[in-house]
Amino acid sequence: MVRSTVRIPLAVGAAAMAAAAVTGCSSSSGSIYDIPTGTAAGPTSPTAAPSTSTGTGPAAAPTLGTSGAPAFGTPSSTPSGPPPLTGVDLKAFLPTAAVLPAGWTIKGDGNEHDTGTAINDYRGDPPQIKEPCNQMRLAGTIFSQGYMLSGAMNEVYDDKHMVQVYLGAYRPGDAAQLLTDLRAYAERCKTFTGKSVDGISIPMTVTLKPVPGLGDEAFDMKRVPTGPYSSSEIVVTRIGDKALFLSGDDILGRLPNIMQLAVPLAKTVK
């Protein structure tokens, strides 16, 4: 069987970051359609980032389906070791009302999306390895890219403050490598200057703190602008060869209490 191999598209750019930071009208958590899926309608013009991978996947342009979503390859018929988790598998670990802390809610189906039963054969590097600091967005739909085999996401609310929950599955060792790459990204971008939509320079500060005792390893990363602009936060937790991303912003007045959600949710991911 011939496999189609693809990169997962990113909806990221300096303009998007600046708009969220300046106007407060868009969330830094990213669009729900940043996650590839064979059923949900994706962006009409997704853009694949240039390949920097030295892995096994070819550096060819992605093959896109008619909906604009990437065409995933099918799982290998001769896998070595346990079969990789699919998006359908990962969906079972997403938060439900039963595991949410008091005061947290899910609206409707939580805007749930997943990558279905397909597996992404292409092993591309995370864009954060070379991505300019002024394109930084703290969201699982962005941070999970590169190395990822499959993913699932939904949204939960701390009162009126939304947290995007994203869970990705990876090849053995790749989830640990991804967290190493993200820590290097935060170190490289400790301070940088962003731009507002009307061209005003905005000094930005990025902090990353390890979170001991959460999963196999975890960190809490924040992007804070100077001035009356929106801050954002992401807590990234590795559980074996899976990575859990919880992200939100303070557009509605405060950051959600992400750590209050991270502790019980990380225990449900197996």
- pLDDT tens-digit profile of 206-243? 999 999 999 999 999 999 999 989 999 999 999 999 99
Confidence class for position 36, pLDDT limits 50, 70, 90: very low
Q: Which of 50-59, 76-85, 98-107 has the highest mean pLDDT?
A: 98-107
The answer to whether residue 61 scores a pLDDT higher than 50 is: no
What does the pLDDT read at residue 255? 97
The answer to whether residue 25 scores a pLDDT higher than 50 is: no
The answer to whether residue 24 scores a pLDDT higher than 60 is: no
pLDDT digits (tens, 9 = 90+) for 140-150: 999 999 999 99
Confidence class for position 261, pLDDT limits 50, 70, 90: very high
Domains in the chain with CATH codes: 14-47+66-75+82-268 (3.40.1000.70)
What does the pLDDT read at residue 198? 83
What does the pLDDT read at residue 270? 81
Mean pLDDT calculated for residue range 89-105: 94
Which segments within 29-158 are labelled E, that is strand? 104-105, 113-114, 148-158
Least confident of 13-17, 190-194, 196-200, 258-262: 13-17
State how far the Cα of 158 lies from the Cα of 3, in Å rounded to an integer: 42
Mean pLDDT calculated for residue range 167-180: 97
Contact criterion met (CB below 8 Å) for 106 and 100? yes
2-41 burial by CB neighbour count: b if 16+ within 10 A, else e? eebbbbbbbbbeeebbbbbbbeeebbbbbebbbbbbbebe
State how far the Cα of 85 lies from the Cα of 168, in Å rounded to an integer: 9
What does the pLDDT read at residue 22? 40
